[in-house]
Chains A and B, each alone.
Chain A
Amino acid sequence: MIGVPGQPAMRNSDEVLYDSEASLRLVDRAIHELKRSMADTGEHEWVVLEDSVTEPGGFARADGLRQLDARLRDVSATTETATTDILDCVSRAVALVERLGSAGDADRDAVLAALDNELALVTTRLQFQDITAQELGRIAGVLAAMRVGATPRALTALPEPQRDAQAFADRVFGQPPARKTA
């Protein structure tokens, strides 16, 4: 543990990196198990789907399940990409730390700047934890609604993010507000 006056004690970097990597592996494993479990129960799902399409709103429910499956696959892909990015950053950071030992005065600042950049990238990539947690929460909400006989509209209630969401927001927020002002 590293102590900084006036701040809570911090854990050393080796400890944090080891725990982070272990946590990422756990998340990755849980998602793979979820995918495998869905594959195992595929036959049963199709029986349920065949039954459901004969009921009023059944086609919409089947479509809702397909959407949920696609969203889960997106979550899995996001997690995998973020995990790979973080591990790449860590590898590059470790290489930079090793280089720092033999760096001369002229090279030292450049190596430190590159190391700082890699560590910042790790922090940025860790946002996937919040993003996937929110997406899984929305999916769980729709599944819970399905259990109590949700309407087709509720099954398709997951908002589709816009591809150019940030650009659209920038356009909207860059314009004078056509709304109430305080």
Chain B
Amino acid sequence: MRFLVVDDSTTMRRIMINALQRIGYHDAIEASNGQEALERLDPTVGCIITDWNMPEMSGLELAQSVRETPAGRRVPILMVTTRGAREDILAAIDAGVNGYLVKPFTPSTLKEKIDRIFSGAGAAA
């Protein structure tokens, strides 16, 4: 499965791709903000993993935009962010996000969230 990893921090994108590799996912493409992610999104992308705070277009705006496109209605979105306020979490689910992971994370917690999304236990898109 191909992941689209979206984060404005190069370090975090590398950490995320490294964590994905450790749990057995070796196909990932990158984007540094929501706008770039929309440009890179195509039917080969099986899951979007996005940060929230990014310049130009945030992860929340990305989720809202993806859900408005025919191709993006069903692609799972996992938000990985430092934002842990209750209202943020509720805003994310309202925007169409399927899973929520608060930084810092470990490869095992990442795997748990991905498994949860694909087992259908996460919020449906």
A interface list, Cβ under 8 A from B: 120, 123-131, 133-135, 137, 159-162, 165-166, 168-170, 172-177, 179-182
B107 touches A120 (CB 8 A): yes
In Å, the complex CA distance between A172 and B18 comes to 28
A182 touches B74 (CB 8 A): yes
In Å, the complex CA distance between A122 and B122 comes to 29
B84 partner residues in chain A, CB cutoff 8 A: 161-162, 165-166, 169
A161 touches B103 (CB 8 A): no
Partner of B19, one of A123, A133, A166, A179: A123
Closest to B67 in A: A182
A61 to chain B, nearest CB (A): 22
A181 to chain B, nearest CB (A): 6
B97 partner residues in chain A, CB cutoff 8 A: 173
Partner of A181, one of B19, B22, B101, B124: B124
B interface list, Cβ under 8 A from A: 7, 9, 11-12, 15, 18-19, 22, 53, 67, 73-74, 82-90, 93-94, 96-107, 109, 116, 121-125
B124 touches A177 (CB 8 A): yes
A174 touches B86 (CB 8 A): no
A130 partner residues in chain B, CB cutoff 8 A: 7, 9, 11-12, 15, 82, 103
